[in-house]
Amino acid sequence: MDIMRKVAVGAVAVAGLSFFAAGTAAADPVPAPMPPPLPAPMPVPLPAGTYLGTTNVLGGDLIWKGKTFGPGWVMDNFGVFFPYIFGMTTPEPGGSLVTDYSPSGLNFLTDRITPRPDGTYEGTVYINGNPVAGYALHK
Protein backbone atom coordinates (compact mmCIF):
# COMPACT_ATOMS: atom_id res chain seq x y z
CA MET A 1 0.00 0.00 0.00
CA ASP A 2 1.48 3.37 -0.96
CA ILE A 3 1.91 6.17 1.59
CA MET A 4 -1.01 8.31 0.33
CA ARG A 5 -3.41 5.43 0.63
CA LYS A 6 -2.19 4.66 4.21
CA VAL A 7 -2.71 8.29 5.21
CA ALA A 8 -6.23 8.30 3.73
CA VAL A 9 -7.22 5.05 5.47
CA GLY A 10 -5.81 6.37 8.77
CA ALA A 11 -7.74 9.64 8.44
CA VAL A 12 -11.01 7.80 7.80
CA ALA A 13 -10.38 5.56 10.84
CA VAL A 14 -9.66 8.56 13.08
CA ALA A 15 -12.78 10.37 11.81
CA GLY A 16 -14.91 7.29 12.46
CA LEU A 17 -13.55 6.90 16.00
CA SER A 18 -14.09 10.60 16.69
CA PHE A 19 -17.68 10.38 15.46
CA PHE A 20 -18.30 7.27 17.59
CA ALA A 21 -16.72 8.89 20.69
CA ALA A 22 -18.72 12.10 20.22
CA GLY A 23 -21.95 10.13 19.87
CA THR A 24 -21.17 8.09 22.99
CA ALA A 25 -20.27 11.20 24.99
CA ALA A 26 -23.46 12.95 23.93
CA ALA A 27 -25.57 9.93 24.89
CA ASP A 28 -23.94 9.63 28.35
CA PRO A 29 -24.84 12.70 30.48
CA VAL A 30 -23.11 11.35 33.64
CA PRO A 31 -19.63 12.90 33.99
CA ALA A 32 -16.67 10.70 34.77
CA PRO A 33 -15.92 10.54 38.50
CA MET A 34 -13.10 12.70 39.81
CA PRO A 35 -10.01 10.83 41.01
CA PRO A 36 -9.56 10.78 44.79
CA PRO A 37 -7.47 13.65 46.16
CA LEU A 38 -3.86 12.96 47.00
CA PRO A 39 -3.18 12.70 50.73
CA ALA A 40 -1.70 15.81 52.31
CA PRO A 41 1.97 15.36 53.15
CA MET A 42 2.54 14.61 56.83
CA PRO A 43 4.81 16.95 58.73
CA VAL A 44 8.24 15.55 59.47
CA PRO A 45 8.53 15.19 63.26
CA LEU A 46 12.29 15.75 63.38
CA PRO A 47 14.25 18.13 61.19
CA ALA A 48 17.32 16.56 59.58
CA GLY A 49 20.49 16.65 61.63
CA THR A 50 22.30 15.04 64.54
CA TYR A 51 20.63 14.79 67.95
CA LEU A 52 22.37 13.92 71.20
CA GLY A 53 20.75 11.17 73.21
CA THR A 54 20.42 9.74 76.69
CA THR A 55 18.90 6.36 77.53
CA ASN A 56 17.45 4.57 80.56
CA VAL A 57 19.48 1.43 79.76
CA LEU A 58 22.10 0.91 82.46
CA GLY A 59 25.47 1.84 80.92
CA GLY A 60 23.86 2.61 77.57
CA ASP A 61 25.03 6.22 77.59
CA LEU A 62 28.63 4.96 77.57
CA ILE A 63 28.25 3.58 74.03
CA TRP A 64 25.09 5.14 72.52
CA LYS A 65 25.51 8.82 71.61
CA GLY A 66 22.28 9.71 69.75
CA LYS A 67 20.86 9.70 66.23
CA THR A 68 21.42 11.41 62.88
CA PHE A 69 18.32 11.95 60.72
CA GLY A 70 17.90 12.51 57.00
CA PRO A 71 14.86 12.37 54.72
CA GLY A 72 13.37 8.94 55.44
CA TRP A 73 16.39 7.47 57.25
CA VAL A 74 18.19 7.47 60.58
CA MET A 75 21.58 6.34 61.89
CA ASP A 76 22.06 5.46 65.54
CA ASN A 77 25.44 6.82 66.61
CA PHE A 78 27.57 4.67 68.88
CA GLY A 79 31.07 4.78 70.30
CA VAL A 80 33.98 2.68 69.12
CA PHE A 81 32.36 -0.78 68.91
CA PHE A 82 29.40 0.04 66.65
CA PRO A 83 29.97 3.07 64.43
CA TYR A 84 26.23 3.23 63.53
CA ILE A 85 23.03 1.27 62.88
CA PHE A 86 20.93 2.31 59.89
CA GLY A 87 17.10 2.41 59.76
CA MET A 88 14.26 3.73 57.62
CA THR A 89 11.80 6.19 59.17
CA THR A 90 8.08 6.62 58.59
CA PRO A 91 6.05 9.51 60.03
CA GLU A 92 2.72 8.64 61.67
CA PRO A 93 -0.42 10.82 61.53
CA GLY A 94 -0.18 11.52 65.29
CA GLY A 95 3.24 13.18 64.90
CA SER A 96 5.45 10.26 65.93
CA LEU A 97 8.26 8.85 63.82
CA VAL A 98 8.68 5.06 63.55
CA THR A 99 12.05 3.55 62.67
CA ASP A 100 12.43 0.13 61.06
CA TYR A 101 15.94 -1.31 61.44
CA SER A 102 15.48 -4.21 58.99
CA PRO A 103 17.87 -2.54 56.45
CA SER A 104 20.62 -3.25 59.01
CA GLY A 105 19.51 -6.87 59.33
CA LEU A 106 17.74 -6.22 62.64
CA ASN A 107 14.18 -7.20 61.58
CA PHE A 108 13.12 -7.55 65.22
CA LEU A 109 14.09 -3.96 66.17
CA THR A 110 11.95 -0.81 65.82
CA ASP A 111 11.53 2.41 67.73
CA ARG A 112 9.05 5.26 67.99
CA ILE A 113 10.00 8.89 68.59
CA THR A 114 7.50 11.49 69.81
CA PRO A 115 8.09 15.25 70.03
CA ARG A 116 7.76 16.86 73.46
CA PRO A 117 6.39 20.38 74.02
CA ASP A 118 9.83 21.59 75.19
CA GLY A 119 11.46 20.88 71.80
CA THR A 120 13.09 17.59 72.80
CA TYR A 121 12.04 14.12 71.70
CA GLU A 122 11.11 10.99 73.63
CA GLY A 123 11.71 7.53 72.19
CA THR A 124 10.88 3.92 72.95
CA VAL A 125 12.80 0.91 71.63
CA TYR A 126 10.85 -2.23 70.72
CA ILE A 127 12.08 -5.79 70.23
CA ASN A 128 9.50 -7.93 68.43
CA GLY A 129 6.87 -5.31 69.30
CA ASN A 130 7.65 -5.28 73.04
CA PRO A 131 8.97 -2.05 74.63
CA VAL A 132 12.40 -2.70 76.15
CA ALA A 133 14.08 0.70 76.60
CA GLY A 134 13.51 4.42 76.48
CA TYR A 135 15.59 7.38 75.37
CA ALA A 136 15.51 11.14 74.89
CA LEU A 137 16.97 13.26 72.08
CA HIS A 138 17.90 16.92 71.92
CA LYS A 139 19.93 19.22 69.67
Q: Where is average pLDDT lowest: 21-25, 67-71, 90-94, 114-118?
A: 21-25
Domain count, the chain: 1
Give the separation between CA 75 and CA 103, rounded to whole angstroms.
11
**% of the chain with per-residue pLDDT over 70:** 68
Domain that holds residue 103: 47-135
Give the separation between CA 135 and CA 71, rounded to whole angstroms.
21
| pLDDT of 132 strictly over 90 | yes
**Mean pLDDT of all residues belonging to the chain:** 78
The verdict on residue 100 lying in a domain is yes
| pLDDT of 21 strictly over 80 | no
The verdict on residue 9 lying in a domain is no
| Average pLDDT over every residue of 83-96 | 90
Q: How confident is the model at residue 44 (pLDDT cuts 50, 70, 90)?
A: low
Report if pTM > 0.95: no
The verdict on residue 118 lying in a domain is yes
